[in-house]
Amino acid sequence: MSDDRKLMVLRAIVQDYVQTSEPVGSRALVERHHLGVSAATVRNDMAQLEEEGLIHAPHTSAGRVPTDAGYRLFVDRLSAVKPLTLGERRAISQFLEGAVDLDDVVDRTVRLLAGLTRQVAVVQYPSLTRSIVRHIELVPLGASHVMIVLIVNTGRVEQRVVELGPVLAGDEGEGLVALIRGELNETAAGLPFTVAAARLSELAEGVGDDPEAQGADGRGPDAGSDPHAAALRTVVSSLCDALAEEREERVVLAGQSNLAKSGGDFTRSIGPILEALEEHVVLLRLLGQLSDDPDLVSVRIGAENPVSGLQSTSLVSVGYGSGAERVASLGVLGPTRMDYPTTMASVRAVARYVSQILDDNPAP
């Protein structure tokens, strides 16, 4: 049996089983596919594929189904990911282009993926640790408070309100806010988040004032201290605290009900799968184990998933980001009996459109 014919027979078995969910026999392969050999030859080929652990008989019948190893070989030998039609690409683009902010982008993306693939869609929010500071804005709120607005290249926006006390009153207050805004952006704009946070801390430590010079309530700079130094420290401290709190990664899911429609594909109940999906830390870990190449689609099949509750599923995922850097990942999870070429094409196409949106509209 040649390797080419082995792959041809295996491909035919995978395609038929994905389409029908029924074990595939040699006669059906000969009738549906132009294999160029007799049914007897196909039976011999199937026997060898079974010996190699690429297919197996789920029960005492003439039909065979792919194993995890069979799916893996099929995916690894795909000559090309099936391209989406022009209509499918246009529909994806139009659906995502209507998003108004990052939350809307993520929400639309996860619903779009679930609808396209009829699987469970998983979308990770852009990671702050992989993001770049685009701009820091300070917005005065009344005579004593200021809102800190951090805008990063992925469109993510973080806000926090701090009290600076009477130093904001009058024209001098406006000048102070403008001065600090300029210092913050000169220090941090254009830098990766982790680097920017360190530079901001150095900026605050470098101003010539007593860091303990705070008001009696500890909330703002003391009236007797250097207004600039004390206000800068308050803003930087609050900004860094807010970023530290928001550093926790998040994922959004949609389409869990699709699992019920594929209930027959799971040897056990879907309970363990749903329980695993509730553990977002687990999903983040799986999505994080990707190449930084945003065009490389990762496929984990069955037992390749390290989480026991997901070992009857396959996870197809890819990174997305602003520019050439991957800042997060998205993908779909479903039964191993999956239309891999179409699913991989859908996941990659959606990731490319999301990346384009982040590049074109990095922030509101």
For residues 297 and 324, membership in a common domain is answered with: yes
For residues 112 and 40, membership in a common domain is answered with: no
Q: What type of residue sits at position 20? A: T
Residue 224 maps to a domain: yes
Which of 214, 245, 276 terminates a domain? The answer is 245
The count of domains in the chain is: 3
Q: What average pLDDT does this structure show over 280-288?
A: 84
Residue 161 maps to a domain: yes
- What pTM, to 2 d.p., does this model score? 0.74
Buried b (16+ CB within 10 A) or exposed e, 276-299: bbeebebbbebbeebeeebeebbb
For residues 34 and 171, membership in a common domain is answered with: no
Residue 358: CB atoms within 10 Å:
23
Residue 194 maps to a domain: yes
Least confidently predicted of 199-213, 256-270, 303-317 = 199-213
For residues 48 and 13, membership in a common domain is answered with: yes
Residue 169 lies in domain: 130-245
pLDDT at 324: 63
Please choose, from the candidates 142, 100, 93, 148, the residue with its C-alpha nearest in 3D space to the C-alpha of residue 116. Answer: 93
Q: How far apart are CA 35 and CA 59, in angstroms?
A: 25
pLDDT at 247: 54
Would the pLDDT of 212 be above 80?
A: no
pLDDT at 288: 76
Residue 233 maps to a domain: yes
For residues 94 and 188, membership in a common domain is answered with: no
Residue 341: CB atoms within 10 Å:
18
Residue 293 maps to a domain: yes
Per DSSP bridges, beta strands 313-320 and 328-335 are antiparallel
Angle at the Cα of 125 from the Cα atoms of 123 and 129, rounded to 5 degrees: 135
Could you tell me the CATH number of the domain that includes residue 121? Answer: 3.30.450.40
Least confidently predicted of 74-83, 137-146, 219-228, 342-351 = 219-228
Q: Which residue has the higher pLDDT, 292 or 31?
A: 31
For residues 119 and 257, membership in a common domain is answered with: yes
For residues 271 and 337, membership in a common domain is answered with: yes
Q: How far apart are CA 125 and CA 134, in angstroms?
A: 17
Please choose, from the candidates 122, 128, 186, 194, the residue with its C-alpha nearest in 3D space to the C-alpha of residue 157. Answer: 128
Which of 47, 76, 105 terminates a domain? The answer is 76
pLDDT at 131: 72
For residues 340 and 288, membership in a common domain is answered with: yes
For residues 271 and 209, membership in a common domain is answered with: no
Could you tell me the CATH number of the domain that includes residue 64? Answer: 1.10.10.10
Which of 222, 245, 268 terminates a domain? The answer is 245
For residues 230 and 141, membership in a common domain is answered with: yes
For residues 288 and 240, membership in a common domain is answered with: no
Would the pLDDT of 219 be above 60?
A: no
At 1-53, the pLDDT tens digits run 567 888 899 999 999 999 998 999 988 888 888 888 888 888 899 999 999 99
For residues 255 and 233, membership in a common domain is answered with: no
Residue 81 maps to a domain: no
Could you tell me the CATH number of the domain that includes residue 219? Answer: 3.30.390
